[in-house]
C-alpha cells in the first residue's frame, strides 16, 4: 500500500502533519489545549492572548450557519501571563506550541512578544487581524502601522515570528503587504482570518443573530474558502521563498486541505470545522487528505505543493 508523508515544517519547526488547530475555537483554557494536544492536530495553538484577562463580547456572540458561522467573540482569553505560565506544561504534551498574541497597540505586542521570546514556545503568531473589537482598527489594513509593528517586533529575539492576516480582496493590497513583509524577517504568515463586519439577519425576529456591534461579525467556514485560497495563492506568488504560509478558511475535508496545498500552503489550520465537529476532525481530514493523495499517486506534500496548474 502507498504511504503518504504528510509531515511539514514551519520556520524549521517540524510538524508531523499538515493540519493544526487555528487560534479561535476551543483553545482558551488548559483543559481545551490538552484536548488539542491529544488530537491529531500537529501543533498546539493557543487562543489570541491580550495583556489582561478578557471576558469578550456579550452573548450571543457566535452562531452556526448552514455553510459556516458568524462570530464576534471579542478575544475572550486568560491574559498572556497565564499562557506564559502554561508553556512548560504544554511543551510536556509532546507537540510544538504556537502562541497567538493580539495586543491593542505596538507597545502591548512588544511586551508580549518579548515575554514569549524568553519562553520555550516554538512559534509566535501575532494577530494583526482581529475584526471584532469595537473601536479598534485592524492593523492588517493599515500598512504604515504594519511596517512600524514589524520593525519593532522582529528584533526582539530569535524565535520565529509570524503574522495572522486579514483577508485582502484587491491585488494592490496583496502587493503592498507583500512588499512590507519581504523587508523583515517574518518567517510565516497565516491567512486568512474571518471576513470582518458581515451581517446575518433573522427575518422572523427582524433582528441580527448575534448581539455585539449591532450584529456585525466575522464570517467563517465554507463561505470564505475561495477568499482563503486566493490569499494563499497571491501571497505565495509575491513573498520571498523563505516566508512560509499557513492557510485557513473553510477546510472541512481532505480535498479542501489539498486545494490549499495546490495554492501553496505549507500547513493549514482548522477553525470552524473544529468548533462544530470537535477534535475528531483533525484525524478525519488527515485520513481523507491521505486517501486523496494516494488516488493521485502522490507520496509527499511537495508532490503537489504550489503546483496549481494554469488553464
Q: What angle do CA 230, 152, 128 make, to 5 degrees?
A: 30
Comparing C-alpha atoms, which of 80, 87, 98 is closest to residue 11? 98
Cα–Cα distance measured from residue 192 to residue 196, given in angstroms and rounded to the nearest whole number: 11
Cα–Cα distance measured from residue 251 to residue 222, given in angstroms and rounded to the nearest whole number: 7
Location of C-alpha cell 485582502: 168
**Does residue 273 carry a catalytic annotation?**
no
Where is 139: in which H helix or E strand? none
How confident is the model at residue 138, as a pLDDT? 84
Tens digit of pLDDT per residue, the chain (311 long)?
679 999 999 999 999 999 999 999 999 999 999 999 999 999 999 999 999 999 999 999 999 999 999 999 999 999 999 999 999 999 999 999 999 999 999 999 999 999 999 999 999 999 998 766 666 678 999 999 999 999 999 999 999 999 999 999 999 999 999 999 999 999 999 999 999 999 999 999 999 999 999 999 999 999 999 999 999 999 999 999 999 999 999 999 999 999 999 999 999 999 999 999 999 999 999 999 999 999 999 999 999 999 999 99
C-alpha cell at 23: 487560534
Total length of the chain: 311
- Judged by DSSP in three states, 115 sits in helix
How confident is the model at residue 2, as a pLDDT? 76
CB 68 within 8 A of CB 224: yes
- Judged by DSSP in three states, 44 sits in strand
The reply to whether the predicted model has a pTM over 0.95 is yes
Domains and CATH numbers, the chain: 8-59+74-197+221-303 (3.20.20.70)
- Which residue is catalytic, options 130, 191, 273, 281? 130
Amino acid at each position: 500500500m502507498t504511504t503518504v508523508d504528510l509531515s511539514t515544517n514551519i520556520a524549521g519547526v517540524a510538524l508531523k502533519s499538515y493540519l493544526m488547530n487555528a487560534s479561535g475555537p476551543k483553545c482558551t483554557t488548559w483543559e481545551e489545549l490538552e484536548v488539542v494536544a491529544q488530537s491529531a492536530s500537529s501543533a498546539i495553538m493557543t487562543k489570541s492572548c491580550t495583556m489582561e484577562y478578557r471576558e469578550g463580547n456579550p452573548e450571543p456572540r457566535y452562531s452556526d450557519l448552514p455553510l459556516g458561522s458568524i462570530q464576534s467573540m471579542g478575544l475572550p482569553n486568560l491574559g498572556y501571563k497565564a499562557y506564559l505560565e502554561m508553556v512548560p506544561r504544554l511543551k510536556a504534551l509532546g507537540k510544538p506550541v504556537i502562541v497567538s498574541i493580539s495586543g491593542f497597540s505596538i507597545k502591548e505586542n512588544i511586551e508580549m512578544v518579548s515575554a514569549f521570546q524568553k519562553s520555550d514556545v516554538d512559534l509566535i503568531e501575532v494577530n494583526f487581524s482581529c475584526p471584532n473589537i469595537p473601536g479598534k482598527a485592524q492593523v492588517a489594513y493599515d500598512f504604515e502601522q504594519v511596517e512600524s509593528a514589524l520593525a519593532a517586533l522582529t528584533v526582539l529575539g530569535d524565535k520565529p515570528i509570524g503574522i495572522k492576516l486579514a483577508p485582502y480582496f484587491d491585488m494592490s493590497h496583496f502587493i503592498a503587504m507583500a512588499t512590507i513583509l519581504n523587508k523583515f524577517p517574518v518567517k510565516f504568515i497565516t491567512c486568512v482570518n474571518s471576513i470582518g463586519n458581515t451581517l446575518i439577519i433573522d427575518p422572523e425576529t427582524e433582528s441580527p443573530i448575534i448581539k455585539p456591534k449591532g450584529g456585525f461579525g466575522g464570517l467563517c467556514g465554507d463561505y470564505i474558502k475561495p477568499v482563503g485560497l486566493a490569499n494563499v495563492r497571491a501571497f505565495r506568488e509575491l513573498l520571498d521563498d523563505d516566508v512560509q504560509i499557513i492557510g485557513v478558511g473553510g477546510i472541512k475535508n481532505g480535498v479542501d486541505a489539498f486545494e490549499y496545498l495546490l495554492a501553496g500552503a505549507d500547513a493549514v489550520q482548522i477553525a470552524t470545522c473544529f468548533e462544530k465537529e470537535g477534535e475528531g476532525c483533525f484525524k478525519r481530514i488527515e485520513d481523507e487528505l491521505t486517501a486523496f493523495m494516494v488516488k493521485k499517486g502522490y507520496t509527499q506534500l511537495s508532490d503537489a505543493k504550489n503546483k496549481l496548474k494554469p488553464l
